[in-house]
Amino acid sequence: MFKSLVRCYSTALPNKQTVLPRFTFPVANTSISLINKNLSKYLNNKHEKITLNGHINRKPRIRSTLGFVHLRDENGDEIQLFATPNTTSDAIFKLLKEVSVEDSISVSGYIQSKESKANKQEVELVIEDFHILNPSNLEAARLEKLKQSSPKDIPPQFRYLQLRTPFFQNALRTRSKISKLIRDILIENHNFVEIETPLLFKSTPEGAREFLVPTRSSKFYALPQSPQQYKQILMSSGFTKYFQLAKCFRDEDLRSDRQPEFTQIDLEMSFINNSDQIGLVVEDLIHNIWNKIGNKSTYKVNSIGNLERITNFDGLQFEKLDYIDALTKYGIDKPDLRYNLEFENLQDYFVNENNEFPIVEACILRNAGHIPKSFTDGLNFKRKPFVWMIKNEEDKLIQNKVKGIYVKNANYNLDLNIGDVIAISTRSEFPYENPTPLGKFRQLTIQEFPDKYKRPIEENGKLITNYNHDVIVGSWVVNFPLFNPVELESDIYPKYDYTKFQSTHHPFTMCKIEDYDLLETDPLKVRGEHYDLVINGVEIGGGSRRIHDSELQNYIFRNILKINNIDELFGHLLKALSMGCPPHAGLAIGFDRLCAMIIGSSSIKDVIAFPKNQSGVDPVVDSPTQVNREVLSEYHITVNK
Ligand code: ASP
């Protein structure tokens, strides 16, 4: 279908009569939705001359005496265009026969009722004037089919054709509305200043792999993985509330739904002594975005474990969940709290032969009913021991089947009933493995049984269990360990080097005040002033209080993270901190992910105009490309094939 696009261009100047009319044409004076809203003004009023611009939406039907064409305007609305040889000139009627789906056009005429629908107020535009502004060169019938079934089936190199469809028009328009609301809330309600920070930054070890930008001076810039250091320097520059919709770049594994370049709602505040002040601003954004643009309420888990709609945005609403509680109850630091599946600790009854992973725990799916094979096939985890069983007659089954786990007290009673499923695994005392095997099991269960283990909604004293609408449930996960031991290669059990540390969030995060002394004695026990915002099992944002004391920051770099060339890498930050930089804290929200969730999509590609594919290629422009040797030599680069 798209072959015809590979055109042979002539070397001659194109024909003036063909080209110039494409540049001089009547511009739209209204839109289809405005016409529909003001029908009485337009209907059968030949003096009310209308011009619309847009694309042909479906294959036209042109017979010898009658022609029907469908125009889609910039809002994605459609109107039928109607012509007979009597309503328009011969030349235009002839032109209509050349029209093809997705051509861009300008049409002028007046509005009348559709003949067959005279009472129903369905209208059409009678064509008086018509211009093809650019033909699409596409095989209409196939493209039309693709547009209707799934716009994503249109080949990705023709992203602009995908984007013309209602799905993507809505996605990108929603994204634009969300950015406007964010700016309104942050600037108008909270006095933030939007400041752009450089994209040509320098290479520093902040966590992710960077993209380097060569220069002719044989030095390199790096694209920022986030504006973290610049925003901290801004806090030292007299701005107390900064934000930006920031482009970030990370040269990371693209297999999961990630993009090498993405956007964050990045913010920072100074002179604050408590991270709740960041939380309040962020919740103001989140509740408003979901309420006003997502048309959905936000919920929290209340003190008795039910879902409660958030109606009052004063004060922090989402519950705070300790990292260690998240891991022990749900096996992951971003639990989907729409579901109340919590693990049971079986440590008193069983012992694991690998004593680095002494905790034996279970996730029980009560009354699971039919278990599809697709689900059990997915439970073949590399990390063992992991077992699952369906209870049939009696529960002696554990002792016999779990390799590596021994019964230490036979008096266990898990209160299993026929039809229940039990999954059992182990974890270390302090879990760095994230998710744990049971955490993965819980995630797969949620995917497989999306309606089964939902928490009830508590409303006006009643518990509602059979609701079928999507709920948006948020929580703050706090008290993360400030450092993790470095993970080593391993096959079954994860292995760590407990003498080498890396920052859980980033190296600029402050510790909990009460854990300060542990920085010297036992860094792995130190908790960070770090908070993640998790919504429906997705980590939507994360942030922290920062270290604004340059001595302490230097200590963390040197003594804990063992960074050698601190001056070269972070001297700029230490200097800015040491010159009266106020206490500050901040956070960044994944803007693409948030937009995707708002439109109900699981892929951030749906809300990015020109995403890269899984190989990091932009299929529209076919980047990245090779660069010829002469250009490379200006940058002092040679490429080893
Ligand atoms: N810069 C951090 C990130 O990209 C967010 C923050 O701490 O504000 O995750």
pLDDT-derived band at 122 (thresholds 50, 70, 90) equals confident
Distance 587 CA to ligand 1 centre (A): 6
Question: In the predicted model, is pLDDT for residue 389 greater than 80?
Answer: no
How many angstroms separate the CA atoms of 570 and 578, rounded? 12
Give distance in angstroms: CA of 590 to centre of ligand 1.
Answer: 10
Q: What is the CB neighbour count within 10 angstroms for residue 292?
A: 12
pLDDT at 395 (0 to 100): 53
Average pLDDT of 7-25?
A: 90
Whether 5 has a pLDDT exceeding 90, the answer reads no
Q: Which of 72-86, 554-568, 574-588 has the lowest mean pLDDT?
A: 72-86
- Pocket probe for ligand 1: among 209, 226, 277, the residue whose CB has the most ligand atoms within 8 Å is 226
Would you state the structure tokens that stand for residue 338, as one six-digit string?
């729409």
What's the gap in Å between 127 CA and the centre of ligand 1? 56
Distance 543 CA to ligand 1 centre (A): 5
Please compute the mean of the pLDDT values over residues 349-377 and round it to a whole number. 86
User: Residue whose CA is closest, atom 8 of ligand 1?
Assistant: 587
Residue range 428-463, pLDDT digits in tens: 989 899 999 999 999 999 999 888 899 999 999 899
pLDDT bracket for residue 200 (50, 70, 90): very high
**Pick the residue with more confidence: 493 or 501?**
501
Helices (H), 405-463: 437-448
Rounded distance between C-alpha atoms, residue 2 and residue 158, angstroms: 9
Question: Per-residue confidence at 2, pLDDT binned at 50, 70, 90?
Answer: low
Which residues on neighbouring strands pair with residue 83, listed in sequence order? 67
Per-residue pLDDT at 9: 85
Mutate to test the pocket of ligand 1, among 233, 235, 242, 266 (most ligand atoms within 8 A of CB): 266
Separation of CA 511 and ligand 1 centre (Å): 16
Average pLDDT score over residue span 337-361? 89
The ligand 1 atom at the shortest distance from the C-alpha of residue 587 is 8
Band (523; pLDDT cuts 50, 70, 90)? very high
Question: Who's near 189: CB < 8 A, 6+ residues apart?
Answer: 284
* Percentage of the chain modeled with pLDDT above 70: 96
Query: Which atom of ligand 1 sits closest to the CA of residue 586?
Result: 8
Higher-confidence residue: 139 or 535?
535
Take atom 4 of ligand 1 and give the residue whose Cα is closest.
Answer: 226
617 CA → ligand 1 middle, Å:
26
CA 269 to CA 232: how far, in whole Å?
Answer: 9
User: Which of 192, 209, 210, 228 to probe ligand 1 with, by most ligand atoms within 8 A of CB?
Assistant: 228
Q: What is the per-residue pLDDT across 573-614, written as a single tens digit (0 to 9) for each?
A: 999 999 999 999 999 999 999 999 999 999 999 999 999 999
**Which residues are CB-neighbours of 173 under 8 A, at least 6 positions away?**
none
Q: How far is the CA of 542 from the centre of ligand 1 (A)?
A: 6
Structure tokens at 302: 């209340």
238: pLDDT strictly greater than 90: yes
Please say whether the beta carbons of 544 and 197 come within 8 A.
no
- Cβ < 6 A, ligand 1 pocket: 226, 228, 542-544, 586-588
- The pLDDT mean for the chain works out to 91
The least confident of 29-43, 171-185, 297-311, 400-414 is 400-414
